[in-house]
Structure 1
């Protein structure tokens, strides 16, 4: 059924119901993809495609159907060493270059975004294992694999796959990196220990940083143009200069191709070029964007769900914590919390992560001085006596507190 104005509005209602009642936000998904999958669920429930309003009422009332729809919208199509030519390029060219360009003092950091049930993450880990073994290198490896689907992440952590994976994996690799069990093959412990799996929404949660290789294959094709642009800008921000971006066969760097030099156009492998400028990173100033709705309750999701203590702490922070922002050495906002909108404002034009582009000019001198002193002296700096106008002639007094933070060797 073609998308009409009414259909578009109803799909927005579907998105709103899921965002309010599950841990998932499908706002940036392509409307066509959403419509096809919603209509598929409607057909399974006996609803005609023209009766989407009634289906919205169903998912508002039926948590089971709501969760089933959300699960249907999470596309988990993956396999070990999918697209063999791509993995051969990684194995023979990209990974050896990364290893040769590192010393034992600096670990190689890898991020598999949209890892689904883990097959791609383990495939890349196996390639690194082979290259590092062959080089007798003492270089450390840190692999982060993330996905918005907590059930898929639970499967990835377990590392147990059906016997049919034998058709996708070279027999030598299968014998070396997998253990045969009654119900299939389990990834060997030395490979599983290389990866940290985590539940993460690429478009809402803070990205990993100082990454040498980002792999995000066949996620962008399900996002609309804005979602794709935001993801690519976040990957550029996450990567070190010269870092590698790996995309799916039907994906490109889009309008940011000038920030990525192709290593292999056929394999969709790019090299990060230039520094990430504050205006290049698209992000949400709204801290609540990184606070997920309540997780659905089931056995597999228990580890990923918020505990009562976490929920309580989060709510207390929302209500009582002062507004704050985490910035890097370039004064780019990485994360915000509290009622930050009362103090920071996104200026017209292209979105900017630059703290001073969002701060009232009346605070620039005090804020810049406090940040510089904090960076130099590595102590907490308090600057009092600031004043800002709320735009209605009301003056508000502001105190600025700046504290140094070290995170994974980075000064924040």
Structure 2
């Protein structure tokens, strides 16, 4: 026995709805589902097991916000388990009143074990308190309660939804509201459901936005990702007729009628379609269409005669010709759309060709620029290599020299120094950039910073001999640091160790004093015999002045000795 069952599976998350609509389960379900059920209800696919199409067609997967979107009315069973406990009490109250409004007069509500109907106990009859199964009690107060919850407009305004809602008699727009009582609304509902034909509203994108009345027998949901497109919701014969009529309406037709359209399903339902614009007044609904479904009249079945057979054949031929005409019209519309699309594609192609030419020109320019950049880069690489070698030479020179050198910028901060300077000034690599006044040293030179500032201001070098606390002597020269961009960019301090020279000068001073005070005659000549120095004792004994003897040949002393031997003390020469 077959049942016409429609199940609405809803959720806020569209990705979850799309995933559930595929109906694919992993191969691990073999461990929990017996083989008979697998063969009966599932089909083996690469990803595992997929629910058979005849079952999936019974289920409508749709995104739905239970607190904002209109309900699916005349529902026989609503299951909402373990969701209400996460909502505030006032929201729970609104949703439960919405459930009562949506249920059939004998429908059932199935809640979770931790949930209850609360203050709405008068609207539901408990069937099983253990499993929280309740039955609809009375529909008389449902609409008024639903309106009080601010979920249904008093005028029962038409609902626009992003998904298809079969059996959703949440009515077409009504401009005025008479009375406002629950009886009037109930009368309006009965009028729409029982006296108006089934109908759907379709937008300009060919998506079904609202369904009214019993349209279930015309639905033929396609497999795959859930969609509310007219081609996904109805049989192909109906969807082709609707789309063809929409094209005619866009061109100015006020109404399009197709009689005896037969579906291709197992039931072979015959239906007459009336397609007309939804509204000529409201601008936002001008491109919407209203599709009315009317059951085609069936011809009584009598005893077969030759005339009846001919009439039946002729009627069938007429229907086939009508269907052929409908498809020809659809084909013509499709051809026109394809021609328009082809023209647009040609224009787009021309634009793409022009853009491609521009890109090629730009590419050539970029290629030339790239070559120039490569040449400049090679030059820079050569310059960098030369600078690196020069820097290495300078580093080796400064490291090998015994002259301590200190470079200061205009703010008297350390820019660079040689290793030799670290013996007297406590400098480390981390001190570069610090003021020299913050660095300790062993020099008896408190005026070093002042002298550097003076050289920076006057550009006149300063030279001093400075003694260190360690006993060393240095010849300090402070020079301006000149560059091509700026005359003076800082100062350079050089420290030459003159300790050995100082010691030698002291020894020479002592030796010179000893010769000056010696009681013996001392004459110093160069290798050629020219006198360079005579001591005071010589001048005292000979009577000559020191200046007279400097430069004379030492041989002249021999002649002088013969002539004046008698006057000299014994043993002088």
User: Do these two structures clear the TM 0.5 threshold for a shared fold by scoring above it?
Assistant: no
For the pair shown, the structure with the greater C-alpha radius of gyration is 2
* Larger relative contact order, structure 1 or 2 (CA cutoff 8 Å, min sep 6): 1
TM-score by length of 2: 0.29
